[in-house]
């Protein structure tokens, strides 16, 4: 559950493994403070989402820094930074390009919309479960999912046109 959710955020096996490890370390260190206001799995979903979002923010900061420090190799016009490769083990080779484009657009959504969409459409959670995991009302979850679908559709239409 933790690994699959992290993988849906980062679309890279090694990064998902790193996040999974961080989540279980965090769960172990924080288990004494778990208040049982929600189920253990809901609590772990929240930790995984937070760790995944933190990982992506950190990765983005590192990318920006690397971009600012040097775009090219020294003594050459060769570009130093290549776009990340979509690396998900459950995807057939012929579908990787299309799914890579889809996840690129999903990653452009605001974090709350992205989280609601991943939980509902990819993790197959009900709207009520999404609301519980995100600690928001059912109406707010429904709204986030709908806005995410609308924005995703617009972005996909714009990228194809």
> What's the confidence (pLDDT) of residue 81?
43
> What's the confidence (pLDDT) of residue 149?
92
* CA separation for the pair 161, 159 (Å, rounded): 6
pLDDT one-digit tens code per residue, 51-110: 999 999 888 766 554 543 444 445 544 444 444 455 555 555 556 677 777 888 888 899
Place of tokens 């991943």: 118
If one compares 135 and 35, the residue with the highest pLDDT of the two is 135
pLDDT one-digit tens code per residue, 104-122: 888 889 999 999 998 998 8
Cβ-based neighbours of 1, under 8 Å, separated by 6 or more: 41, 44, 45, 48
pTM exceeding the 0.75 threshold for the entire prediction: no
> What's the confidence (pLDDT) of residue 83?
43
Domains and CATH numbers, the chain: 2-160 (1.20.140.160)
> What's the confidence (pLDDT) of residue 72?
43
pLDDT one-digit tens code per residue, 11-46: 899 999 999 999 999 999 999 888 888 899 999 999
Comparing C-alpha atoms, which of 8, 9, 25, 7 is closest to residue 17?
Answer: 7
Neighbours of 138 (CB within 10 A): 13
């Amino acid at each position: 559950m933790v690994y699959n959710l992290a993988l849906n955020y980062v679309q890279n096996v090694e990064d998902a493994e790193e996040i999974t490890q961080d989540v279980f370390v965090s769960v172990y260190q924080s288990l004494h403070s778990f208040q049982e206001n929600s189920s253990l799995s809901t609590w772990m979903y929240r930790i995984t989402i937070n760790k995944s979002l933190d990982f992506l923010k950190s990765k983005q900061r590192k990318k920006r820094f690397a971009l600012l420090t040097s775009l090219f190799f020294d003594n050459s016009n060769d570009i130093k930074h290549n776009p990340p490769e979509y690396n998900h083990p459950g995807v057939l080779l012929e579908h990787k390009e299309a799914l890579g484009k889809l996840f690129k657009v999903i990653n452009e959504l605001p974090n709350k919309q992205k989280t609601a969409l991943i939980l509902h459409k990819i993790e197959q959670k009900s709207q009520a479960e999404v609301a519980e995991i995100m600690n928001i009302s059912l109406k707010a979850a429904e709204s986030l999912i709908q806005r995410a679908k609308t924005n995703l559709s617009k972005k996909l239409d714009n990228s194809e046109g």
